[in-house]
Amino acid sequence: MNWSRRNFLTSLSTTALVLSLDDVLALAAPQTSQPAQQTGSRPTYDAVPRPAPKGLPSPVAGTPLDISFIDVARQSGLNAKTIYGGEHKNRYLLETTGCGVAFYDYDHDDWIDIFLVNGTRLDGFPKGQEPLSRLFKNNRDGTFTDVTLKAGVGRAGWGQGCCVGDYNNDGWNDLFVSYYGQNVLYRNNGNGTFTDVTEKAGLLQSKTRWNSGCAFIDYDRDGHLDLFVANYIDFDIKTAPLPEAAGCAYKGIQVACGPPGLQGGKNILYRNNGDGTFTDVSQKSGMWDTIGTYGLSVAVSDIDGDGWPDIYVANDSTAATFYQNQKDGTFKDVAIEAGIAYSPDGKPQAGMGVSIGDFNRDGRFDIVKTNFAGDTDSLYVNLGDGNFDDHTYMSGLGVNTRYLGWGVGFFDMDNDGWPDIFICNGHVYPEVDGTAIDAPYAEHKYLYRNLRNGQFEEVTAQGGPGITTPAPGRGCAFGDYDNDGVVDVVVNCINSLPQLLRCESTTGRNWIKIRTVGTKSNRSGIGAKISVTTTTPDGAKPFIQIDEVRSGGSYYSQNDLRIHFGLDHSAKADSVEIKWPSGTTDKLTDLVPNHLYVIQEGGKILKTVAMGASSQSKALTTPATASKP
C-alpha cells in the first residue's frame, strides 16, 4: 500500500490504535528538520526566526532583476482614500480587516478597470459624506476616471471583498461585493451601468453576517456560475468585548479582541438556479460540516486535478479548510488529510490571503498562503492524488517572519515562464506604531523570484520603490492595466490612498494573454484550465506551463480574468490547450507572441490584439490554427 498522509489518517478508523489529537496532527503534518515554533495565533507569542535554507546553486540567483515596481496611483487618478476603522486605535476586530480590490474589465474593451472596496468608521459620517466603494474606468493612456456614481456602484458600509463573474451568461461580467452586513450583487447592464439585483437574485440574508472572501464557481459544472462566500465571525457590536474590559493584549499592548474566543461564522454556498436567482445550499452541500472557521480569503481551483473545482479557505487562528468537490453537489473538508490545514509542526495558523499556481512547473497547482506576524507564510507543493507537502522552508519563504501578510499572488513578473510571488504586508494593530516592541503598522512588500529549482530568492530590495516603501496594505490584485505586456499590481490600503504598482521591465521577453468566452461552459470561462507549450532554447523538450481562469483570490480581491503567460524568448506558443468546465477541449497552435487572444469555447478566435509598449492594436500577420483533439 502507498502510505500517503491521507491513507494513514483513514487507516486510523479501522484500527484499535488510540492517539491524542496532538499525536494525530504531528503524524499528519509533513516532516521537517526545523525546530518547532509558535505560529501566528493571536494574541501573544514569541517567534523564533529560522535560518535560510541552503539550496542548490541557481541559474538566476543574484543576477540583476531587470524589474522595478513604481507607485503611479496619484498621477493615474486613483485619488479615493480607503476609510476603515480608527487610524490610531481600534476598539473592535471589525476595524482591522480592511478591504479588497478588483482589476475588472467591466466594459469589455480589454483595458482593465479598477474597483476599490471601501469601509467606514464606528462613529459614522454625516449624510452625503460617507466613504463609497469606487469604480475607476481605464482611459487607455495610463490614467483612470472615477465613474462610481454614473455606474451606480457607490455604496457605503463595512465593505470586505469583491469577485467577478458573468452569473447570468449575458456576456457581461457582473460584480459581487461582500460586507459586514448585507452583501450586494451588481448586474452589469452592458452600457456602463449596474443594477443592484441582490434581492431579486435571492441573496438577501436574514441576519447580520460578517461576510468576507468570495468567489464565483461552477461547482456542479452545469454552465451557470454559483457563488461561495466565506464568513469570519458572528459579530454583534452590542455584545462584542472591548479590549479594556476583556484584557485583550498583543505583546503587552491593549488591542481589539478576537477572533479566538468569539463565535466563528458559517461559510455560504449559493447554487445558481439558471434563471437569475440563487438558492442557499450551504448545509446541504456539506459546507458546515467542517472544523475550520474564521474564514477570510477564498481560492477556487481544480486543486486535486480531477476536473471538478474545489475551494480552499484561509482561516484566521485555526485550521485552513479544503472543500474537496465530491462531484455530486457536496463537498468534504480534507485539509488535514491533504496536508494543507496546519503549519509544518501541526499547529493552526492565522491565515489571511491565498493564491494558486504551478510554481515548480510539474503540471499540478500549488498553494501559497499568507499568515500573521511572527509566523512564516506558507507554501504547499502539490504531490498529486490530493496530497501536499509543506515546502515553506525548502523554498526560501521561511526566512521572513516579522511582517503580517495579506494579499498574495503567484505571477510571472519577468515573463520567464516561472511564477514568482508577491506578498502585501501591513500590521493589523495600529497601536504598534510608536513602540519598539514590534514591526510598524505600515510595512513594505515581499517579492520573491522563482529560481526554477523549487526555490525562491527574496528580491524585495531590488523590486523598486513600489515594493520597498512601507504601506498599510490589505487586498491586492494582479493584471496588466496598461497593456504593455508585464503584470502590474493594485493595492487597497487601510486608511490611506491605494497603490498602483506599475511594473517597468527591461527583460525583453515575450508573452501571450488568453481571455476565455464559454458557450456550453459559463460565459466567463471561470474554471477553464489553460496549458501553453513552447520549445526550450535547446529544443530538447517541450516547456509546458498551466493556469486557470479564477474568480476571487489573493486577499478579498479579484485578478484580471485575462490569463497571462510569459514565453521567455520563444518566438511562438507552439500550442495552447483549453480544457473547459463542460469537458470540451480546444487546441490552438502557432500563436504569435505579445498578443491577446479572445478564444471562444469550440476553438474560435474571436479577437486578436497586438500589445506592447505602444499598446496599439493591429491584425495578426500569421493566423493561428485551431483544432479539437
Give 402-453 pLDDT, tens digit per residue. Answer: 999 999 999 999 999 999 999 999 999 999 988 888 889 999 999 999 999 9
CA 86/CA 301 separation, integer angstroms = 36
- Which of 52-66, 271-285, 473-487, 500-514 has the least mean pLDDT? 52-66
**% of the chain with per-residue pLDDT over 70:** 87
Give the pLDDT mean for 54-81. 84
CATH (one of 2.60.40, 2.60.20, 1.10.3470, 1.20.120) for 510-610: 2.60.40
Predicted pLDDT at 613: 57
149 DSSP 8-state letter: H
CA 218/CA 360 separation, integer angstroms = 27
Give the pLDDT mean for 132-153. 98
Q: What is the pTM of this model?
A: 0.90
Report the CATH number of the 67-246+256-505 domain. 2.130.10.10
Q: Where does the pLDDT of residue 537 fall: very low under 50, low under 70, confident under 90, or very high at 90 and above?
A: low
Edge to edge, what strands does the sheet with 456-458 contain?
Answer: 405-411, 420-425, 446-450, 456-458
Predicted pLDDT at 540: 66
Residues 312/303, Cβ–Cβ less than 8 Å: yes
Give the pLDDT mean for 536-551. 86
Q: Which amino acid is at 209?
A: R
Cell of 46: 514569541
Beta carbons within 8 Å of 257's beta carbon, 6+ residues apart: 92, 93, 240, 241, 242, 243, 246, 248
Edge to edge, what strands does the sheet with 529-535 contain?
Answer: 542-548, 529-535, 573-579, 585-591, 625-627
pLDDT of 316 > 80? The answer is: yes
Which residue has 532583476 as its cell numbers? 65
Domain edges within the chain: 67-246+256-505, 510-610
Predicted pLDDT at 10: 41
Give the pLDDT mean for 613-622. 39
Q: Which CA distances in Å does 489 have to 38, 56, 277, 478?
A: 32, 30, 33, 5
Residues 200/273, Cβ–Cβ less than 8 Å: no
